[in-house]
Chain A
Amino acid sequence: MPEPSELFSRSWDVLVAGGGNAALCAAIEAAWSGASVLVVEAAPKFYRGGNTRHTRNLRCAHDEANEVLTGPYPEEELWEDLLRVTGGETDEELARFTIARSKELWDYMNAQGVRFQPSIGGTLSLGRTNAFFLGGGRAMLNALYRRAGRLGVKVVYDAPLTGLEIEDGVFRSATVAHGGRDYRVKAKAFVGAAGGFEANIEWLKEAWGPEAENFLIRGTAYNRGAVLRLLLDAGVKSIGDPRQCHAVAIDARAPKFDGGISTRLDCVVFGIVVNRDGERFYDEGEDFWPKRYAIWGRLVAAQPDQIAYAIIDSRSIDRFMPSIFPPIEAGSLEELAAKLQLDAARLRATIETFNGAVKPGSFDPAALDDCRTEGLSPEKTHWARTISEPPYYAYPLRPGITFTYLGVRVDRNARMIMEGSAPSPNMFAAGEIMAGNVLGKGYLAGIGMTIGAVFGRVAGREAGQHARN
């Protein structure tokens, strides 16, 4: 491998900023078409790939089952799913294009050396719609990097983009910081695939106010949105609500950055959730947890100090996925309140009021059962059982930010659209940086990887073609 300084001095066909699924698909596709490709990744090698390293699966339409996907998932059904979660905040042309191309991804990923695992039964029933990476997102990334390496793609880590030279919508060069020096890197085409700004707390505060200080970031600290900022400042048209991000409630003891999947908690539906003042604030049993976890980040974010506590008793402790941190355990409500530093009297009053409002019913975690409260505000509408069998357990909750929606506008060739609506001839975008075109709101498991792979491939192909013409 040549020295980075030597790599930066070459003139490239395609420069890719970013190092995740979308960036690598673009690099592979461009290199496959014969282009010389340099990938600059802001993170060190271990943290490469942004949110991809924490992903697990890819959603793809398909007409029949295969060795992993358990049944057909027609394009139309995926479109309806997307329409439902986004509430229509999607560009139909780009969305339908993504869905149509998603059908190629199974074969494509296999050809790149990405391995999938047979679906294991589960209540989320994603086995039909989503293909699970064997070993998870980092394993998938490793396979893509191996493939890119064999195709001659060069990668430099610890190399954030700090500047872009763009003339009349045409990319000329980029400034890359590496090893304490700035390098001007020239390329005939540019692919921006560097993710969102979820790890940029200052930027999050612009949208959320000072509360954002208390947010935990589920991905790496390198998702700072530097490339997105540079592109928007250079006159690329934006898409998506700058004030929105995908936030779930995660264990408050999780690290500030990069806690990933393991910090998620699935206990909320089995008990109650109180805030710092010992008060309940939302219906914990509104719907199945997989359908509701994404609203709880926001709910906790709206509480004082952005903290809440899920409280269950001994009957529920084994009913959900094991948690990464052990629950806070206590023999009495007073002891629990002391451990959580809550007002004991307030907590006892909340729980006694709740217990008093629980109506008899037959508890069934697999159904929207008839266990509910009556006369509370807010009510708990399903799975309401008294919290009365010690030991009591609590998990502290904080908002965990997964990704942001703000991005750059693209057309179906992945070309960035400039202010004034003309597409750039040689600037392309793929992945989270443009996902807002398709997923303007909400979330659908595995759709981020779908958008990244589909647009990564298009961006790489188009960029390679542009460079050779």
Chain B
Amino acid sequence: MHATEDLAEADRLMRICNACRYCEGLCAVFPAMEKRRSFAQGDLNYLANLCHQCGACYFDCQYAPPHEFAVNVPKTLSKVRSGSYGLYAWPRALAPLFERNGLAIALVAAFSVAAFIFGFAAWTDAGVLFSAHHGEGAFYRIMPHAAMAWLFGAAFLYAVVALVMGFRAFWADIGAGGTRPQGLSVWQAIRDAGRLRYLDGGGVGCMNEDEQPTDMRRHYHHATFYGFLACFASTLTATFFHYAFGWEAPYSWYSLPVVLGTLGGIGLVVGPLGLMRAKKTRDKTMTDTSRFGMDVAFLAMLFAIGATGLLLLFLRATPLMGTLLAVHLGFVFGFFLTMPYGKFVHGLYRFGALVRYAMEERQGYPVPAPKRRAA
């Protein structure tokens, strides 16, 4: 009846959970489930992307393994979620990139970094590449600003188009096709995503190693996410400075782009390291270990961008600047290219699921709301 074993298992679990409902206060997944009586593929993909993998329901569940019902919602929804990404990939021909994602991302990153190093070496005089530069426009003596802007602009534009197409496919699959996200629901989703409302186990914190709740994953995710945003904002302000005021990088330590970039870089180093550590210590029974590569590749990529960016900042006045610039730009370029084909999409689809959830909560869902059970 279902296309994959993971979907069939998720269907079996949601049937049990919908007859129990003890977890309805933990997160958004269970109230969303209660609005349904049967679970088609799109419903399951919706619930799977709504799940933040906090783990509270696994440790709270009286039917978790070794119980014969073997209810393991975090692990099952994690599998369904990873399986859903390929369905939405644009163009479809690139969907297989999700299959061996760790390898794919690593190859793209390696080629991208190599291309920048070779490109710099080919187009720039070795004397320029390996000497120290100072003052305005120092970076652009190695790579002209226009070339940088066009190349990264094009890569970013491609990523945006591919992500938008992916989102449209997701939105249609979860049964929301034809409905437009509403302003208030989008605002609600921004607030829920912004503070990771559903990564707190309903208030006590999420479970990671064992039944002790901890909030560390949420903190590290905040560091990563806001670090990423700060880096993005740094790039935007720098671009604005360049075109609006004609101020050329490198900027001083206390300028807005550098302050944002430094804070963001620290976030991108600390956050992914912390998330990586949490991933290693996480209770494996509630983890989909088969998708480890995808998660690690994404974290490693973010870490590499943050770390090389900080190094570039500290060593920009030394002869190492040219090489570091190549490596940093190589990682950023590789990241742009792979955004639509890696773990990055989890944020997009989870946000979409949160918007959908806010809409359902606001207007109800066209099924009769059944009674709750006492005990």
Contact = CB atoms under 8 A, between A and B. Distances in A.
Contact of A445 (B57, B204, B374): B374
Contacts of B202: 115, 117, 134-135
A139 B203 CA distance: 12
A120 interface: yes
Given A55-B375, A115-B202, A136 B66 contact: no
Interface stretch (B132-140, B190-198, B268-276, B364-372): B364-372
Contacts of B29: none
B237 to A, nearest CB: 42
A46 B67 contact: yes
Interface string A116-128: 0110101110100
A56 B19 contact: no
Contact of B67 (A124, A258, A326): A258
A322 interface: yes
A261 B16 CA distance: 10
Contacts, number: 120
A142 B60 contact: yes
Contact of B24 (A120, A266, A318): A120
Given A124-B372, A258-B67, A261-B375, A138 B18 contact: no
A138 B203 contact: no
B23 A142 contact: no
B25 A132 contact: yes
A54 B67 CA distance: 13
A422 interface: no
B225 interface: no
Interface string B151-181: 0000000000000000000000000000000
B232 interface: no
A321 B62 CA distance: 19
Contact of B204 (A54, A115, A264, A320): A115
B318 to A, nearest CB: 52
B375 A138 contact: no
A290 B374 contact: yes
Contact of A138 (B60, B370, B371): B60
A136 B16 contact: no
B371 A124 contact: yes
B364 to A, nearest CB: 12
B209 to A, nearest CB: 14
A282 to B, nearest CB: 22
A120 B69 CA distance: 27
A378 to B, nearest CB: 25
Interface in A90-139: 113, 115, 117-118, 120, 122-124, 126, 130, 132-139
A244 B63 CA distance: 28
B20 A261 contact: yes
A318 B36 CA distance: 11
A324 B19 contact: yes
Contacts of B26: 134-135
A339 interface: no
A254 B373 CA distance: 17
A136 B62 contact: yes
A271 interface: no
Given A318-B367, A324-B15, 19 more contacts: A56-B375, A117-B24, A117-B25, A120-B24, A122-B371, A124-B374, A134-B26, A134-B202, A135-B60, A135-B202, A138-B59, A142-B211, A255-B68, A258-B62, A258-B68, A260-B63, A320-B370, A321-B370, A322-B18
